[in-house]
């Protein structure tokens, strides 16, 4: 069949509902996707164990590459508002193989994080109903069962429509931000009036000195972990085809989200570090026994034991639950749309392009991701006796750096001929995306070297008689699976890899008929 060049009317081709989201909804989804409360609960303890009192400055430094890369996402979205985002843009900038692996980076990161999201949700459900004994046992089959049910319910919400998902996000994010603010202000008041427990700290300018971190490796570990708490705002870009003014609104939402996250993280981390200190015992943030969940420990300590305090403590648990719900949902949304775009451009089997006629959502892609997530969660839970959070958070740093950094490089290369047109172009389309990508790829390379040593992982596997850390296994395993799948798809879906379904020179779609099999 002869190839036909058509205008880039992505929404009509893919069947997504156009104009369903505005700027506010996009920003809400961008912020909710990072799950601030869940991210802090699952990450802050590990960061403090690694770098101690310098956690606030590492929070700020981790923002820099994220902000630079958000600019890259914004600029690439202007050129081509395709829901495949990194997959589509890195294909246009470099090659189909690079683009395919960029798309796989998104899928790999999202699948890995689902295990820790489900685990946190399972534990907090039992904490919320005062069954703390069950929630404290990470290997409990009841926690596993609730985690699986959690993934199923969030998959269903994503299945029935983007507008339902967006409205659900607004409610969840409202609970989350309100309680994070209350927690922070309450903690600072108690530090100020002297009622904070023994071990509390007075905020100091020295906390913002990055050179005070004793070991460079500890600094990079903290920085890599902090990437996790910022990750997720790019969901707003994956929903670009369902957003009003698709060329500009999603990009603005992504950039706005990163600044908002910087503010809330700086406030919360400063407050809880001041209140709890960094000691290795009791509620200290350096206590490794609750490093994978600091908020459920800090809530009762900060609010006290009165009836009102108990209500606030339960609201805090509800906040982390709502945060995990928001993040689970907004992990499914971009993944399904990345797979949809890959299917439309013939990079994966056409069945993944199937859309629901009434809900206008990618049905097969959404359900498949939910099933795969459940499978990986069950396997990880079994192999690590329930301790799935620690290594999955560390492994995510590599996957995040991989596809975020690739987008930064894609932006600088895609616009390379326009960089000298103006000073703004030079910095916004070239320098900032490139620096963001370089920083993230340095963290990626260093992380591989660091986690090669099994001592630096929380779980271990024996392969051919050699002990390998869980973090290294997750990262390398994910990349190897991606390479195997890529070469398999190249054998069965050659049109994409020959460059026939996605013209890399312009944001104009080159296609046959996407509704038909090749």
In three-state form (DSSP H/G/I as H, E/B as E, the rest C), the secondary structure along 452-510 is CCHHHCCCEEEECCEEEEHHHHHHHHHHHHHHHHHHHHHHHCHHHHCCCCCCCCCCCCE
CB 258 within 8 A of CB 233: yes
- What pLDDT does residue 509 have? 33
* 2 has a pLDDT exceeding 60: no
pLDDT at 132: 65
For residue 167, name the pLDDT band (cuts at 50, 70, 90): low
Which region among 113-127, 220-234, 236-250 has the lowest average model confidence (pLDDT)?
A: 113-127
- pLDDT greater at residue 337 or residue 90: 90
pLDDT higher than 50, residue 427: yes
The lowest-confidence range among 94-108, 128-142, 276-290, 390-404 is: 128-142
Q: What confidence score (pLDDT) does residue 1 get?
A: 29
Higher per-residue confidence, 454 vs 78? 78
pLDDT at 281 over 90: no
- For residue 430, what is the DSSP state? I
What average pLDDT score do residues 382-404 get? 75
Task: Provide φ and ψ at 361, rounded to 5°.
Answer: -125, 150
pLDDT of 176 reads 82
Measured at the CA of 29, the angle between CA 25 and CA 31, to 5 degrees, comes to 120
Return the percentage of the chain with pLDDT > 70, whole number.
88
pLDDT-derived band at 268 (thresholds 50, 70, 90) equals very high
**Domain architecture of the chain: domains with CATH:** 4-511 (1.20.1740.10)
Find out whether 129 and 318 touch, Cβ atoms under 8 Å: no
Cβ-proximal residues to 221 (8 Å cutoff; 6+ apart), any chain: 50, 51, 450, 456
Tell me: pLDDT of 72 over 70.
yes
Q: What is the pLDDT of residue 65?
A: 95
Q: 136-140, 396-400, 410-414 — which one is most confidently predicted on average?
A: 410-414
70 with 231: CB under 8 angstroms?
Answer: no
In sign, the C-alpha dihedral spanning 181, 187, 189, 191 is: negative
C-alpha separations of 254 from 28, 171, 505 in Å: 10, 20, 25
This prediction has a pTM of 0.85
User: What backbone torsions phi and psi does residue 49 show, to the nearest 5 degrees?
Assistant: -60, -35
CA 66 to chain centre: 12
What pLDDT was estimated at residue 164?
56
Does residue 163 have a pLDDT over 60?
Answer: no
The alpha carbon dihedral of 508, 512, 515, 518 has a sign of negative
Nearest to 436 by CA among 288, 303, 258, 282: 258
Distance CA 234, CA 517 (A): 30
What is the pLDDT confidence band of residue 13, given thresholds at 50, 70 and 90?
low
| Residue bearing the bigger pLDDT, 36 or 430 | 430
Q: E strand or H helix at 5, and its extent?
A: strand 4-5
Any residues with CB less than 8 A from the CB of 123 and at least 6 apart, and which? 135, 136, 138, 143, 293
Examine the pLDDT at 479 and tell me if it is beyond 90.
yes
What are the phi and psi torsion angles at 481 (to 5°)?
A: -60, -40
Rounded Cα distance, 137 and 157, in Å: 28
For residue 313, the tally of other CB atoms under 10 A from its CB is: 22
Q: In the predicted model, what is the mean pLDDT of residues 350-379?
A: 85
3-state secondary structure of 511: strand
Q: Which residue has the higher pLDDT, 425 or 290?
A: 425
In the chain, % of residues over pLDDT 90: 33
The tens digit of pLDDT for each residue in 309-347 reads 888 888 888 777 777 777 777 788 788 889 989 998 999
Question: What CA–CA distance (Å, rounded) separates 27 from 251?
Answer: 10
Q: Residue 230, Cβ neighbours under 10 Å: how many?
A: 25
- Note the pLDDT of residue 161: 63
The answer to whether the beta carbons of residues 76 and 414 sit under 8 Å apart is yes
Return the higher-pLDDT residue of 20 and 268.
268
Instruction: Give the model's confidence band at 255: pLDDT under 50 very low, under 70 low, under 90 confident, else very high.
Output: very high
Tell me what pLDDT residue 430 has. Answer: 96
The residue length of the chain stands at 518
CA distance 258 to 243: 19
Question: What's the gap between Cα 360 and its chain centre?
Answer: 24
End-to-end CA distance of the chain: 10
pLDDT, averaged across the chain: 83
Tokens of 413: 């290369």
E strand or H helix that includes residue 225: helix 216-230
pLDDT at 145 over 50: yes
Query: 265, 243, 125: which is closest to 184 by C-alpha?
Result: 265
């Amino acid at each position: 069949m002869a190839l036909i060049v058509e205008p880039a009317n992505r929404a009509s081709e893919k069947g997504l509902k156009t104009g369903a989201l505005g700027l506010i909804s996009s920003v809400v989804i961008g912020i909710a996707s990072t799950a601030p409360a869940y991210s802090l609960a699952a990450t802050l303890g590990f960061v403090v164990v690694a770098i101690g009192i310098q956690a606030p400055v590492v929070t700020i430094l981790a923002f820099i590459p994220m902000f630079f890369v958000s600019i890259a996402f914004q600029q690439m979205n202007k050129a081509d508002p395709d829901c495949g985002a990194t997959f589509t843009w890195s294909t246009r900038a470099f090659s189909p193989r690079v683009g395919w692996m960029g798309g796989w980076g998104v899928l790999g990161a999202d699948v890995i994080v689902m295990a820790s999201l489900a685990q946190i949700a399972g534990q907090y459900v039992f904490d919320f109903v005062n069954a703390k004994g069950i929630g404290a046992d990470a290997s409990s089959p009841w926690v596993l069962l609730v985690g699986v049910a959690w993934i199923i319910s969030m998959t269903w919400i994503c299945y029935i429509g983007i507008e339902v998902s967006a409205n659900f996000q607004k409610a969840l994010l409202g609970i989350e931000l309100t309680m994070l603010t209350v927690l922070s202000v309450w903690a600072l008041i108690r530090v100020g009036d002297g009622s904070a427990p023994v071990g509390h700290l007075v905020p100091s300018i020295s906390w913002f000195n990055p050179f005070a971190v004793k070991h460079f490796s500890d600094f990079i570990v903290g920085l890599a972990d902090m990437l996790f708490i910022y990750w997720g705002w790019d969901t707003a870009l994956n929903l670009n085809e369902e957003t009003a003014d698709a060329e500009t609104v999603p990009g603005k939402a992504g950039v706005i989200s990163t600044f908002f996250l910087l503010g809330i993280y700086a406030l919360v981390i400063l407050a809880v570090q001041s209140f709890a200190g960094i000691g290795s015992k009791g509620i200290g943030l350096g206590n490794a026994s609750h490093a994978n969940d600091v908020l459920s420990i800090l809530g009762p300590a900060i609010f006290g034991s009165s009836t009102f305090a108990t209500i606030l403590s339960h609201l805090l648990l509800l906040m982390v639950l709502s945060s995990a719900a928001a993040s689970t949902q907004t992990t499914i949304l971009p993944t399904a749309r990345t797979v949809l775009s890959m299917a439309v451009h013939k990079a994966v089997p056409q069945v993944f392009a199937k859309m629901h006629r009434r809900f206008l959502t990618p049905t097969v892609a959404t359900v498949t991701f939910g099933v795969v997530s459940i499978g990986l969660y069950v396997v990880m839970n079994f192999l690590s006796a329930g301790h799935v959070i620690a290594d999955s958070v560390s492994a995510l740093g590599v996957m995040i750096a991989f596809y975020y950094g690739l987008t930064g490089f894609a932006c600088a290369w895609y616009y390379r001929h326009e960089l000298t047109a103006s000073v703004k172009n030079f910095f916004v389309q070239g320098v900032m995306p490139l620096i963001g990508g370089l920083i993230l790829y340095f963290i990626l390379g260093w992380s591989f070297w660091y986690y090669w040593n099994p001592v630096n992982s929380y779980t271990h596997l024996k392969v051919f008689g050699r002990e390998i850390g869980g973090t290294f296994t997750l990262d390398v395993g994910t990349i190897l699976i991606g390479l195997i799948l890529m070469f398999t798809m190249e054998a069965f879906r050659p049109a994409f890899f020959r460059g026939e379904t996605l013209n890399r020179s312009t944001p104009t779609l080159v296609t046959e008929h996407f509704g038909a099999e090749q």
